[in-house]
Amino acid sequence: MDRRSFTQSLLGSSLMIINKKPVELRKRAIYLKKGDKIGLICPAGIINEERLDKAIANMETLGLKAISGKYILEQSGYLAGSDQHRLADLHNMYSNSEIAAVWCIRGGYGSTRLLPYVDFDLIKSNPKPMLGYSDITAFHHAINLKAGVHTFHSPVGSSELTPYTLSNLKSVIFGESGNQIEIETSTENDQLFADGKSVYERYIIHPGIATGNLWGGNLSLLAAMAGTEYLKLKKDSILFIEDIEEVPYRIDRMLTQLFQALPMNKIKGIVVGVCEGCEKKDNGPSFTLKEVIMDRISRLQIPALYGFSFGHITNQCTLPFGAVATMDTTTFKLKVTLP
């Protein structure tokens, strides 16, 4: 594929702050429409040309036009280029008025390194959603908190778009269902549990119905950001969390740390996604993942469930970060009101 037709040569570089002057939040619809230009960036881990091609193809499937960051294929150790270049790609996508949204091609590690240098006034004055999950959790929190701009906890640009993933993604980002959306779990994930993959089990941790703003993401990132200026819980929230390849004691440790750091009176309910690869690894002494989840969360005595369709999995839903949602442990559904 001739990537030059998709790649925009962007000006700007380094850690230079583009706009220090405070600005008022300018309203902009968070919905996308067919034909919109989408800025593809890699603010964390490395990608190769194959993964970039996959992301471009996904944008075409959605009827969107991909514009790649100038430094998107760079590599610096385990990072997708230097901090300066990754930051420049992010800033350039927000300063370009033709770009309707910024979509991260993958997670990995590196997003938190950029947060002290992000020009949040620039983002506030050019509001457009960012999309992605995993390490992109850092940006969801920082952008919402510092710039007041809505984002989508969604598949990354290079994710596999299964029928469930694609249908849910389009329903949310294009506003196809209006501002009221009902998100159900994937029947494909239920089949994986029926086929013997215990981590896909759906179960109630504590029964009930709760309403709050969707807030959360990858558990490892949330624990790492706890106590920083980029992770502040200001509204009553539905906490959603997921992780991958973390043994049960690490899940225990991170949940314990998070619950000790957060104002837990503002957490009205908890939705846990599928924690792929987080089962105990051998026959040594350990709690199971389910035992840890039940022990750490059920004692909070708030509505909570495990096994919703998000996480490092193939069939995953898209959650509009900060939107008001009602969770119901009986129906296993999220009813979301978009801003």
H-assigned helices in 197-266:
219-225, 248-261
Among residues 111, 125, 134, 158, which one is catalytic? 134
User: Please, what is the Cα angle at 211 between 143 and 224, to 5 degrees?
Assistant: 40
How many C-beta atoms lie closer than 10 Å to residue 117's C-beta? 15
Catalytic, 153? Answer no
Active-site residue, 141 included = no
Strand partners, 76: 79
Residue 98 a catalytic site member: no
122-134-234 Cα angle (round to 5) = 60
Residue 3 CB neighbour total at 10 angstroms: 14
Q: Exposure string (b/e) for 271-287, b if CB count within 10 Å is 16 or more?
A: bbbbbbebebeeeeebb
- Cα three-residue angle 181-327-315, rounded to 5 degrees: 65
Structural contact between residues 212 and 236, judged by C-beta atoms closer than 8 angstroms: yes
Taking CA atoms, 24 is separated from 27, 31, 121, 147, in Å, by 9, 21, 9, 10
- Among 242, 246, 276, 309, the active-site one is 242
Q: Which amino acid, one-letter code, is at 278?
A: C
Please list the active-site residues: 134, 242, 312
